[in-house]
Amino acid sequence: MARKRPKPEEIVSKLRQVEILMGQGMSRLDAIRQIGVVEQTYYRWRKKYGGMGADQLKELKRLQKENERLRKAVSDLTLDKLILTEAAKGNY
């Protein structure tokens, strides 16, 4: 059975859990194992989501959606421009 990818909120929660366990005296590797991920995944998550709070995570999602919408708009406009340019060449 394939594993599901954790949502960003879950990732931030797990990162915070590791911090708490380390604060209680557990080694970093043991804390990482306790949340059920490998060390490489932990460091990748920490690089991407480290230090983020819930509001920052929501803002990141909002910005990603806005970026995707703008990219789509630019690609649509570029396609329209190419079509109009080709049509204008045919008229001469």
Per residue of the chain (92 residues), what is the pLDDT tens digit?
567 888 888 898 999 999 999 999 999 999 999 999 999 999 999 998 887 887 888 888 899 999 999 999 999 999 999 999 988 887 65
Q: Is 14 exposed, middle or buried (0-12, 13-18, 19+ CB in 10 A)?
A: buried
Distance between CA 70 and CA 76 in Å, rounded? 10
Task: In whole angstroms, give the CA distance from residue 70 to residue 88.
Answer: 27
Give the domain ranges of the chain. Answer: 1-52, 54-91
- Which pTM was predicted? 0.63
| Both structure tokens of 17 | 């859990």
